[in-house]
């Protein structure tokens, strides 16, 4: 798991605001051997990001699904330190994080689930 500091998040070109307390990235891989090879390799098949937000600019409607967005390119921008591009990512509301009616300030917890795009691209670190 990789941990990064606060960053600006854009999903499909829409600015979602700044994260609070950093993000964590969990990469998921599959071990296999290319055809005709006896050398096993690890193939990246996706991953998950946990992020805390200070605010969310739109209403959160949880009715049929906890998904807040469809698949799109996501940019995690903490320039000049780093820029992470995720080729195909969906944002999901973390329902275990709902707290209402208590006098504490807590972040909005979201999961960003990602997969390879049609070209096989998954994640790019700059």
Query: Can you give the length of the chain in residues?
Result: 126
> What does the alpha-carbon distance between residue 103 and residue 1 come to, in Å, rounded to a whole number?
32
Residue 81: predicted pLDDT: 86
pLDDT digits (tens, 9 = 90+) for 37-67: 666 777 888 999 998 887 776 666 677 777 8
Q: Where are the alpha helices (DSSP H) in the chain?
A: none
**Are 86 and 72 spatial neighbours (Cβ–Cβ below 8 Å)?**
no
Q: Find the angle CA(77)-CA(18)-CA(73) to the nearest 5 degrees.
A: 50
Per-residue pLDDT, averaged over 1-24, amounts to 82
SS3 57: coil
**Two tokens, residue 79:** 């320039």
SS3 95: helix
Q: Is the pLDDT of residue 1 over 60?
A: no
pLDDT digits (tens, 9 = 90+) for 78-87: 888 889 999 9
Per-residue pLDDT, averaged over 20-28, amounts to 86
């Amino acid at each position: 798991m990789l941990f990064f500091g606060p960053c600006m998040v854009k999903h499909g070109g829409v600015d979602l605001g700044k994260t609070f307390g950093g993000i964590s990235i969990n990469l998921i891989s599959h071990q296999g051997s290319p055809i005709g090879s006896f050398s096993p390799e690890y193939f990246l098949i996706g991953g998950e990001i946990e992020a805390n937000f200070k605010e969310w600019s739109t209403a959160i409607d949880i009715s049929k699904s906890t998904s807040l967005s469809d698949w799109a390119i996501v940019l995690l921008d903490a320039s000049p330190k780093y820029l992470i591009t995720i080729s195909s990512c969906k944002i999901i509301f973390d329902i275990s994080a709902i707290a209402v009616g208590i006098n504490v300030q807590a972040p909005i917890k979201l999961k960003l689930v990602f997969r390879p795009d049609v070209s096989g691209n998954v994640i790019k670190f700059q």
